[in-house]
Amino acid sequence: MKIDVVDVGHVYPGPSSRRVLDGVNVALTERRIGIIGANGSGKSTFLRLLNGLIVPSEGRVEVDGLDTAKKAREVRKKVGFCFTDPDSQIIMPTVAEDVGFGLRKSGLPKDEQRAKVMALLEHFGLAGHADHPAHLLSGGQKQLLAMASVLITEPTLLVMDEPTTLLDLRNAAMIGRVVAELEPAVVLATHHLYLLESFDRVLVFEGGHLVADDAPGPAIATYRRLMEAA
């Protein structure tokens, strides 16, 4: 998968018309890409550009040659998205139903849908909770459920916006291990910097600008310097 971000800037409309991204140019082809930056640095907006949740005010974003502004439906089939708060992502009342929700329009027979859902829940260690109310899971389990609900549609890229922010260290590390073993490519924004140590590439955002684009070690060092200087 190749993502091209060309001359992208973004301003949220409204009375305050906040500019959150400015002059971002980057081409992404690696399988594991980390995104770091302070709160309000533009990370979440950048991630939302990647699957067409936000259309840039300036410039363009292309996923495998598909412009997110014109081919949002096709882009979203390729690019799954996990939010910080899994509660806002759970749609159906039970665990299995929520994962199966993504297959409603797949045309697969019901028993095949169920088998696919159960295989994925088994993989994530949630099979024992298949018929349990989704909102009663623990924080870590809910984040796993959110990932499973996206992965059931087999995207080629999974974009994750701070999926470990609401979790304790044990659950954050567990999500890190699960992410490391995922089949699709991953773009992960996080404040848990150790999760990015094995990644191929890390982008650092500051004040809406891409200020560093490097291997994890140097990129994280740049980020630390920026935070200490602030």
Residue 135 C-beta: closest distance to other proteins, Å? 5
- Tell which one of 56, 100, 176, 216 touches other proteins (CB under 8 A): 100
Q: Is 147 in the site for other proteins (CB under 8 A)?
A: no
Among residues 97, 200, 213, 214, the one that binds other proteins under rule CB under 8 A:
97
Q: Are 175 and 164 in contact (CB under 8 A)?
A: yes
Query: What six digits make up the tokens of 150?
Result: 């996206």
Rounded to an integer, what distance in angstroms lies between the CA atom of residue 69 and that of residue 216?
31
**CB-nearer residue toward other proteins: 83 or 223:** 83
- Based on the shown chain and the rule CB under 8 A, indicate whether residue 131 belongs to the binding site for other proteins: yes
How many residues does this entry show for the chain?
Answer: 230
Residue 108 as a binder of other proteins (CB under 8 A): the answer is no
Q: Using CB under 8 A, pick the residue from 19, 31, 60, 76 that binds other proteins.
A: 76
Distance CA 220, CA 196 (A): 9
94 sits near other proteins (criterion: CB under 8 A): yes
Determine, following the binding rule CB under 8 A, whether residue 81 of this chain makes contact with other proteins. Answer: yes
163 binds other proteins, rule: CB under 8 A = no
The rounded distance, in Å, linking the Cα atoms of 207 and 183 is 33
Q: Of 159, 139, 146, 154, whose CA–CA distance to 95 is shortest?
A: 146
* H helical segments located in 88-215: 95-100, 110-123, 139-151, 169-180
- What residues make contact with other proteins under the rule CB under 8 A? 51, 53, 72-73, 76-77, 80-81, 83, 85, 87-94, 97, 100-102, 104-105, 131, 133, 135-136, 149-150, 153
